[in-house]
Amino acid sequence: MPLLPTLSTSFIVISAVLVAIGWWLIAKNKRKAHKGVMIAAAISALIFFIIYLSRTVFVGNTSFGGPDDIKIYYTIFLIFHIILATVGAVFGIVTLTLAFRRRIAKHRKIGPVTSIIWFFTALTGVAVYSLLYIIYDGGTTTSMIKAILGL
């Protein structure tokens, strides 16, 4: 297993687990603990992004190395994951901003939606990682655009 993709995927899983813990804590009305855990979740997601972006810039991305007859399905799934991750990141930033600005009523409304999006982002991210590095041998490592398009 390649080090950087494994490390970055681990951080996104940690982030999702921390979000789940944060959700449980706020349900128990443990606001201070909730805040700390959610900040840790955000930091974990940020570490993922820094590792991912660094790898993309300096090394490139790995294209799908599985069978050609399922490559189109992988590509569609990958695009879905990228859109979900982008939406999840934007929702996460908005949700954190609302909390830090003490706009708690809006934070309470958007927080559960953000959490669900983030859980699906983490799940689809693990699926992409598994398809690239565990189930099949990764293809060539190349630029992000070529990897997404399967070129």
Residue that is written with structure tokens 């927080």 in the block: 111
Q: Which structure tokens are listed for 41?
A: 């979740």
Q: Is 2 left (phi over 0), alpha (psi -120 to 50) or beta?
A: beta
Please name which of 128, 43, 35 lies closest in space to residue 85, comparing C-alpha atoms.
Answer: 128
Give 151's pLDDT tier (boundaries 50, 70, 90).
Answer: low
Strand partners, 142: 61
Six-digit token pair at 11? Answer: 């951080």
Asked whether the predicted pLDDT for residue 144 surpasses 70, the reply is no
Give the distance from CA 6 to its chain's centroid. 13
pLDDT at 1 over 80: no
Q: What is the pLDDT of residue 79?
A: 95
Q: DSSP characters for 77-95?
A: HHHHHHHHHHHHHHHHHHH
- Look at residue 70 in the predicted model and tell me its pLDDT: 94
Over residues 95-109, the pLDDT tens digits come to 999 999 999 999 999
Q: Looking at per-residue confidence, does 130 or 141 come out higher? A: 130
Kindly give the pairing relationship between strand 61-62 and strand 141-142: antiparallel
Confidence of residue 63 (pLDDT cuts 50, 70, 90): confident
pLDDT of residue 99: 96
Range with lowest mean pLDDT among 15-19, 89-93, 143-147: 143-147
8, 59 contact by CB (below 8 A): no
The arithmetic mean of pLDDT across residues 107-122, rounded, is: 96
